[in-house]
Structure 1
Amino acid sequence: MSLYAELHRHLGGSVVPRVLWRYFHRSQSDLAQRFPEYPEFEEFYTRPRKTLDEYLELHTLVENVQSAKTLPYFIYRLIRGAYIFENLAYLELRYTPYLRTPDHLPQTERIDQMAQIVEIVGQASQLSEYPIVTSQILCMHSRLPYAVNRAIVELSAQNRTYVCGIDLAGGDAYYAERLDEFTELYAYARSLGLNTTGHVYETTDGSYPELLPYLMRIGHGIQIPLRYPELLPELAQQNQCLEVCPTTYLKTGTLEDIRQLKLVFDRCFEAGVDIAICTDNAGLHNVRLPFEYENLLTYDVIGFKELQACQDAAFKHAFAWPHRQRPASILTEVLREDEKVSEPAQSVVN
């Protein structure tokens, strides 16, 4: 049995369409009246969008219902599905805690409530019947004020039990006018010893070389091998890993065909840059991690040797995986020990 690591999954986009549709109907939401039947809702929720901005609007649909009260409901179903259907041994969930607090409260009160959200997500993720190693990445947001983003960095440093790193999300086209601010926040995070990743080089609007020195992993990053391959040797030298989410680029209009990713993988392998294959928004795409693997193989983007290298890279670059080996190696050693114990004792010839 293969066990996998997922390094790039958003809490907002992780809710599968049927679970979300059932929640809307149980809570008598306006969306229940708009979509009385499930197939219409699934088509609306999972269809491709023209731009990243249009795609990100769907996150607000889920963020508005993921509150302190409802988060355990969604997370239980998320972890259950990840364990049963995806064979995940390790999962990093990323989200912006501020966006799970009541939006009618003053900013200072919402900042104060973020710690409770982190605690709820952390506790809800610990399910004995579905033993997955989980951790959280807290996302700064390109449309949130500096004070909120700084508080997110500080909360991450204060809650290392549940938080393994920080991210920057919200649409990469909006970084430019605040680039100095985000550079400062990343430098602050590194000074606190935090692990870092960030949504950069996802689209043609997201090229920010100024942020690269502060990132241990790169959220997406596909435009580097596609448009700036001269940067790859430095990424390899710095041991930076790309978090590539194949279905996302088709859903956001960033790429027209999944086969365009072949150049991404080929150039990264040639330069010695690791890639972890991820889902990004498994629920929003209605595509789980093993299907991402299968699609890449089906369209000859990668072969089985490259797939295994990417699976190894995911555990290698995981911020909170507590073992030196990936699960397959650990299981192999356990089985070998069991075989030694079960071997019949050799008879002694006098």
Structure 2
Amino acid sequence: MSLYAELHRHLGGSVVPRILWRYFKRNRPDLAKPFADYPQFEEFYCRPRESLAEYLELHTLVESVQTRETLPYFIYRLIRGAYVFENLAYMEMRYTPYLRTSDQLSQTERIDQTAEIVEIVGQASQVKEYPIVTSQILCMHARLPYEVNRAIVEIAAQMPEYVCGIDLAGGDDLYCDRMDEFVDLYAYARSLNLKTTCHLYETEGGAHPELLPYLMRIGHGIQIPLQHPELLPAVAQRRQCLEICPTTYLKTGTLQSIQQLQVVFDRCFDAGVDVAICTDNAGLHNVRLPFEYETLLTQDVISFDQLRACQENAFRHAFAWPLNQGPAAILNDVLNWAPAALKPTRATVAT
């Protein structure tokens, strides 16, 4: 059995459609009313969109119901599903905590409540019956003002028991007009010893090389090998890992076929750039992390050797994985330590 590390999962897009539908029916019938039944809702929720901008609008649907009161409900089900159905040993959950605060408050009051949201998520993630190592990545947002984004960075630095890094989300085509702000925020984050990733080079409009020197990982980054392969040597030199989320590019219309990712993987491996495979929005996609690996393999996008390398990369580049080796090495140590009487033999296997 393989154990997996998930480096790129949005809290807003992590709710699988049936759980979200059940919540709507029980608690928000106004949100369920436009749909005749569950199949119609699932079709709406999971269908491909015309663009990344249209796709991101779905996050607002979930963000509106992920409140202080309901976050434990959704997170428990996320952890349970990740452990039981995905074999996750490690998961980083990313989201913009400010967008889970009450919009009835002033900006200052919402910033104060942001830290409370982070604590709620952190405590709700500690589910003893489903032991997964978890941590949070706090997302700045392209549509939020500088003061709020800076506060998010500071909260991340103040809460290392719950937070392992920061990100910038909201559509990478929106960064241009505020690039000086975002460079300043990332420089500030690094000065606070925060680990960093960023939604970057996901779409053709998301090429912002100014941010690359401040990053430890790159959220998506597929346009680097596809459109800007000259950047790959520098990415490799900085030991930056690309967080590749295969299903996302089909759902957003960024790619027309999963086979187009073969160029991404081949060029990255040839250049010595590490790649981790992720789900991004497992709920919106109705997909689980092992299936992402399986699809890439069965569609001849990656080889078995590349698959194993991506599995190892995910643990090696995880911001909060507490060990210097992956779980496979730990299990091998256990098997080597086990008394001879407990070790399987050819004879016992045959019976």
Q: How far does residue 342 in structure 1 lie from its aligned partner after superposition?
A: 5.2
Q: Secondary structure at the match of 2:301?
A: coil
2:148 corresponds to: 148
1:190 corresponds to: 190
> For 1:264 and 1:32, how far apart are their aligned partners in 2?
39
TM-score where L is the length of structure 2: 0.97
Instruction: Please give the per-residue CA displacement for 1:23-79, whole angstroms capped at 9, x wherever unaligned.
Output: 000013312211241100000000000000000000000000000000000000000
2:272 corresponds to: 272
> For 1:2 and 1:330, how far apart are their aligned partners in 2?
12
> For 2:23 and 2:339, how far apart are their aligned partners in 1?
48
Q: Secondary structure at the match of 1:211?
A: helix
> For 1:149 and 1:208, how far apart are their aligned partners in 2?
19
Q: Secondary structure at the match of 2:196?
A: coil
> For 1:69 and 1:342, how far apart are their aligned partners in 2?
47
Residue identity in the other structure for 1:256: Q
Q: How far does residue 298 in structure 1 lie from its aligned partner after superposition?
A: 1.4
1:124 corresponds to: 124
1:315 corresponds to: 315
2:346 corresponds to: none
> For 1:223 and 1:94, how far apart are their aligned partners in 2?
22
Q: Secondary structure at the match of 1:5?
A: strand
1:139 corresponds to: 139
Q: Does 1:99 align with 2:114?
A: no
2:58 corresponds to: 58
Written as runs of structure 1 = structure 2, the 5 A alignment for 1:264-343 is 264-340=264-340
> For 2:29 and 2:7, how far apart are their aligned partners in 1?
32
Q: How far does residue 339 in structure 1 lie from its aligned partner after superposition?
A: 3.4
Instruction: Please give the per-residue CA displacement for 1:307-350, whole angstroms capped at 9, x wherever unaligned.
Output: 0000000000000000011001101101110135758xxxxxxx
Q: Secondary structure at the match of 1:93?
A: strand
Q: Secondary structure at the match of 1:21?
A: helix
> For 2:51 and 2:36, how far apart are their aligned partners in 1?
27
Residue identity in the other structure for 2:97: P
> For 2:226 and 2:111, how far apart are their aligned partners in 1?
39
Q: How far does residue 8 in structure 1 lie from its aligned partner after superposition?
A: 0.2
Q: Secondary structure at the match of 1:91?
A: strand
Q: Secondary structure at the match of 2:210?
A: coil
1:201 corresponds to: 201
1:162 corresponds to: 162
Written as runs of structure 1 = structure 2, the 5 A alignment for 1:5-154 is 5-154=5-154
Instruction: Please give the per-residue CA displacement for 1:217-263, whole angstroms capped at 9, x wherever unaligned.
Output: 00000000001001101111110000000000000000000000000
> For 1:31 and 1:148, how far apart are their aligned partners in 2?
29
Written as runs of structure 1 = structure 2, the 5 A alignment for 1:222-241 is 222-241=222-241
> For 1:190 and 1:280, how far apart are their aligned partners in 2?
24
> For 1:248 and 1:70, how far apart are their aligned partners in 2?
26
> For 2:342 and 2:43, how far apart are their aligned partners in 1?
54
Residue identity in the other structure for 1:103: D
> For 2:104 and 2:189, how far apart are their aligned partners in 1?
29
Instruction: Please give the per-residue CA displacement for 1:146-187, whole angstroms capped at 9, x wherever unaligned.
Output: 000000000000000000000000001110000000000000
> For 1:245 and 1:95, how far apart are their aligned partners in 2?
16
Q: Secondary structure at the match of 2:323?
A: coil
The runs of 5 or more residues in structure 1 that have no matched partner are 344-350
Q: Does 1:177 align with 2:177?
A: yes
* Percent identity (aligned): 75
Root mean square deviation, CA, Å: 0.9
Q: Secondary structure at the match of 1:50?
A: coil
TM-score where L is the length of structure 1: 0.97
Which stretches of structure 1, 4 residues or more, deviate above 6 A after TM superposition?
Answer: none
> For 1:258 and 1:39, how far apart are their aligned partners in 2?
25
1:348 corresponds to: none
Residue identity in the other structure for 2:301: V
Residue identity in the other structure for 2:31: L
> For 1:223 and 1:234, how far apart are their aligned partners in 2?
15
Q: Secondary structure at the match of 1:210?
A: helix
